[in-house]
Structure 1
Amino acid sequence: MQLSNYLFFTTSCEQALSFYTRCGLGHLVEVLRYGEGGMAVHNEAMRGRIMHAKFEGQGVLFYASDNDDAEPMRGSAHILMMDDREQTKALFGRLAEGGVITTPLAIQPWGDFFGKLTDQFGVQWMLNCAA
Structure 2
Amino acid sequence: MILSNYLFFTTTCEQALAFYAECGLGCITEELRYGANGMPVPAEAMRGKIMHARFEGPGVLFYASDNDDAEPMRGSAHMLVIEDRDDAKRLFEHLAASGTITTPFGLQVWGDFFGKLTDRFGVQWMINVPTNAKTS
Q: State the TM-score, normalized to the length of structure 1.
A: 0.99
Alignment-derived partner of residue 33 in structure 1: 33
Indicate whether 1:20 and 2:10 are aligned: no
Alignment-derived partner of residue 134 in structure 2: none
Indicate whether 1:110 and 2:121 are aligned: no
Unaligned runs of 5+ in 2: 132-136
Hey, which bits of structure 1, 4+ residues long, moved more than 3 A? none
Alignment-derived partner of residue 77 in structure 1: 77
Alignment size in residue pairs: 131
Instruction: Tell me how far apart the structure 2 counterparts of residues 7 and 26 of structure 1 sit (CA, whole Å).
Output: 15
Per-residue deviation, residues 76-117 of structure 1 (Å, max 9, x unmatched): 000000100100110000000010000001111111000000
Instruction: Tell me how far apart the structure 2 counterparts of residues 66 and 25 of structure 1 sit (CA, whole Å).
Output: 20
Indicate whether 1:55 and 2:69 are aligned: no
Alignment-derived partner of residue 120 in structure 2: 120
Instruction: Tell me how far apart the structure 1 counterparts of residues 42 and 116 of structure 2 sit (CA, whole Å).
Output: 36
One-letter amino acid of the structure 2 residue matched with residue 49 of structure 1: K
Per-residue deviation, residues 50-72 of structure 1 (Å, max 9, x unmatched): 00000000000000000000000
One-letter amino acid of the structure 1 residue matched with residue 38 of structure 2: G
Indicate whether 1:45 and 2:45 are aligned: yes
Instruction: Tell me how far apart the structure 2 counterparts of residues 42 and 124 of structure 1 sit (CA, whole Å).
Output: 28
Secondary structure of the equivalent of 1:37?
Answer: helix
For residues 80-95 of structure 1, what are the structure 2 equivalents within 5 Å? 80-95=80-95
Deviation of the 1:10 alpha carbon: 0.1
Instruction: Tell me how far apart the structure 2 counterparts of residues 25 and 77 of structure 1 sit (CA, whole Å).
Output: 15
Unaligned runs of 5+ in 1: none
Identity score, percent: 70
Please tell me the root mean square deviation across aligned C-alpha atoms, in Å: 0.5
Instruction: Tell me how far apart the structure 2 counterparts of residues 42 and 82 of structure 1 sit (CA, whole Å).
Output: 39
